[in-house]
Amino acid sequence: MHPIVSLAKKAVENYTRTGERLKLPKSLGKEMKQRAGVFVSIHKKGDLRGCIGTFEAQEKNIAEEVISNAISSATRDPRFDPVKEDELKDLDYSVDILTEPEPVPDASYLDPKKYGVIVQSGWRRGLLLPDLEGVDTPEYQIDICRQKGGISMDEPVRLYRFEVKRLK
C-alpha cells in the first residue's frame, strides 16, 4: 500500500475509533509535502462507500489534505451513512492527487480515461474523476457533472479538465 493511501486508512480508522483527527506524521516524504487537490475514495467489497475531495489545495500540504478528505469521505459523503467501526476491516482505499484544472473550449478536449472533468455554471460545479467504470464518453462525463452540480442540460457551462495520479 502506498504511504499516502496508508495515511488515509489510518486517518479513517483513528477518527472512527476515537472521534479525533489523526496527527500529522513526524516525517513526511517529499510527495506529501507538496500542495494539491486530493480525492479519497473508500470501497467496501468493491462498492463505493465514500468519496470526498478537493480539486484545489485547501491545506498546507498533501498529507493534511489526505487526512481531512479521508475523514470527510468516511463521515460526510451525503450518499452514505458514516463508516462504523465494524466495517473498517472490509474497506479499501484509493487516493487521487489532482493536477491544476485547466479550462477547455469544448468536449473534444476531453478523454474520460485520461482526464477528470469539472463543469461550472455560475457558482455551481460538478466534478468527476477520470477512468471510472462505465464512463466511456466525454458527453457522459459532462452529464454526470451537471447532475452532481445541479446544472440543467440547457444551461451554458464552462469546462475544465485535470489529470490524476491514482494511488492504491
Residue-wise pLDDT tens digits, 73-113: 999 999 999 999 999 999 999 999 999 999 999 999 999 99
**Chain-centre distance of CA 117, in angstroms?**
12
Predicted local distance difference test score (pLDDT) of residue 165: 97
Sheet with 47-53, edge to edge strand ranges: 47-53, 38-44, 91-98, 164-167
Locus of grid cell 444551461: 155
Instruction: Report the b/e string of 97-119 with b at 16+ CB within 10 A.
Output: bbeebeebeeeeebebeebbbbb
Helix pair angle (62-75, 3-18), 10° resolution: 50
CATH 3.30.1490.150 domain range(s) in the chain = 102-163
Per-residue pLDDT tens over the stretch 112-155? 999 999 999 999 999 999 999 999 999 999 999 999 999 999 99
**pLDDT one-digit tens code per residue, 28-57:** 999 999 999 999 999 999 999 999 999 999
- Between the alpha carbon of residue 48 and those of residues 89, 104, 133, 161, the distances in Å are 15, 29, 12, 23
| All three cell numbers of 72 | 470527510
Main-chain dihedrals φ then ψ at residue 94, nearest 5 degrees: -140, 150
Q: State how far the Cα of 116 lies from the Cα of 141, in Å rounded to an integer.
A: 8
Question: Could you tell me which CATH class the domain 3-98 is placed in?
Answer: alpha beta
pLDDT on residue 143: 98
Extract the runs of DSSP E, i.e. beta strands, from 8-115: 38-44, 47-53, 91-98, 102-104
Alpha carbon distance 84, 99 (integer Å): 32
Domain with CATH 3.30.700.20 in the chain: 3-98
- Per-residue confidence (pLDDT) for residue 150, from 0 to 100: 97
- pTM of the prediction? 0.93
Architecture of domain 102-163: 2-Layer Sandwich (3.30)
